[in-house]
Structure 1
Amino acid sequence: MKEFASRVGRKACKLNIIEFRTCDRHGSKLYARIRLEGPNQVLLHGTPELSTPGLAINGDDPLEIKEWNMKEILKVSGEPRDDSIKFAYGKLEWTSWTQTQDGPAECMLMTDADWNKNGKSKCPTDSRQFECEFPC
């Protein structure tokens, strides 16, 4: 595992997201297990353990997270066209590939490899993990 070095600051929310890709006869589907912490590492949201493989984040129906102590709604949607996860928190928007020089939010791929593209199937079931920070 890689180590994520924070550059966003003390008022940052931390987002740990494990993205899952599954396949069925209708094509691939994207899911996520999310752990969202506010400043001072206060847990704002955690995907329930009963949600297997996670919560749906398919592009046409983004996941929306709004907890009592969040100022805005966090929207999460998987984008198979550019192989990213798109996030929106209020007016702030970024993707799983956003780095510090691109704006106030940032993400980093934490797993050693991206999707398993070498599998025999055109759509292998696989996962990958990102850590992100954004001002909240």
Structure 2
Amino acid sequence: MEPRRVIEGYYSNLENPPVPVIPLKIFPPTRRKHIVVEAKLDTGFSGPLLLTPENYLSLGLHLYESTENVVGLIAGGYRVELRVSRGIVELGKTSVPVEIYTSVFVKKNIIGRQLLNEFKVVLDAKNGKVLLENP
């Protein structure tokens, strides 16, 4: 039996109340380069991963974009156009191919439900710990 893999995060005090974040390694489809970022866990975002425009462009993800028009609905009911690209997210030793979204309005990197649903998620706010367990 393969041992459980656990990815550890923490609660960041950059927001009030503190917000759960997890470190990610993100690659373009070629895997020729990568960036390491911390991303906020947000179950209000249904997609897998939302990156700031700076991170999206630094990986060259605009070169792998879909021609599909994607519109997101943000708080307040406003619609925004999203750009979407293919990419790979590495959490611990787990690599997951995902769609990666961005918009000029994105100010924080966000992991959404589509990616979180691949893991058992433990939010231990009292002790400031975030755990993603690979089942």
Which category of TM-score, normalised to the shorter sequence, fits these structures?
A: 0.3 to 0.5
Tell me the TM-score normalized by structure 2. 0.35
> Normalized per residue, which structure has more helix?
2
1 or 2 for the larger relative contact order (CA 8 Å, sep ≥6)?
A: 2
Tell me the TM-score normalized by structure 1. 0.35
